[in-house]
A and B are shown apart, each in its own frame.
Chain A
Amino acid sequence: KNQVEQSPQSLIILEGKNCTLQCNYTVSPFSNLRWYKQDTGRGPVSLTIMTFSENTKSNGRYTATLDADTKQSSLHITASQLSDSASYICVVRFTGGGNKLTFGTGTQLKVEL
């Protein structure tokens, strides 16, 4: 069964600190892996999209990495801000699966003063 697992489930960090969120997947074959940020009460917003041939993709203070051999991805947040408090969702798309995306259950990040 194609699955996407994220860790940790929740995380609390101090403002200004860095953090790394993990995503392991068993989806195969896949065409791309995405990271989304979802603020409470809002829809998800795309942070990065990486194809299977890409190793890293950055979007401001967010940097995603992908290791297709081990089927692992990580999202690194640098110099965290209070506004980074949100749920971060890893999403993997099947090859030829149209828009059938498989979603992880997310990591709930809270940034505190």
Chain B
Amino acid sequence: KAGVTQTPRYLIKTRGQQVTLSCSPISGHRSVSWYQQTPGQGLQFLFEYFSETQRNKGNFPGRFSGRQFSNSRSEMNVSTLELGDSALYLCASSLTGGSNQPQHFGDGTRLSIL
């Protein structure tokens, strides 16, 4: 069974641009969560999608948005990029996002802002 796939693996952008990251969950998984990982802050929750609806949201500005498609694939968009947005962006999927279900992570997209 294929794992969680994130594309692209690496991305370089400049300040002010926007970016879209993609995540394909494990087949059959309907919950997709996004996280930002930086050396200083560690992993921080961005948002969770289930059945094409945002179910939970972390404490990030509105420049960070996402969506989920009917096949459970998800995209995350960051507009007006800032230097501080440089990070590893991780996507994780689970069957339904239930409390005790394990989350399966992809290997992330490393975003660098110049």
Q: Let me know if A44 and B45 touch, CB within 8 A.
A: no
In-complex Cβ contact of B42 among A31, A46, A104 (8 A): A104
Q: Interface size class for chain B? A: 20 to 34
Q: Does B87 contact A (CB under 8 A)?
A: no
Q: Let me know if B4 and A32 touch, CB within 8 A.
A: no
Q: Let me know if A98 and B48 touch, CB within 8 A.
A: yes
Q: How far is the CB of B11 from chain A (nearest CB, A)?
A: 15
Q: Does A25 contact B (CB under 8 A)?
A: no
Total A-B residue pairs with C-beta atoms closer than 8 Å?
Answer: 58
A51-B100, A103-B43 known; A41+B107 contact, CB < 8 A: yes
Would you call the interface of chain A mostly helix, strand, loop, or mixed? Answer: strand
B residues adjacent to A (C-beta < 8 A)? 4, 31, 33, 41-45, 48, 55-56, 58, 90, 92, 94, 97, 99-100, 102-108
Instruction: Give me 7 A-to-B residue pairs in the complex whose CB atoms sit less than 8 angstroms apart, sorted by A's number.
Output: A32-B100, A43-B92, A43-B105, A43-B106, A51-B100, A101-B43, A101-B45
A residues adjacent to B (C-beta < 8 A)? 31-32, 34, 36, 41-46, 49, 51, 89, 91, 93, 97-101, 103-106
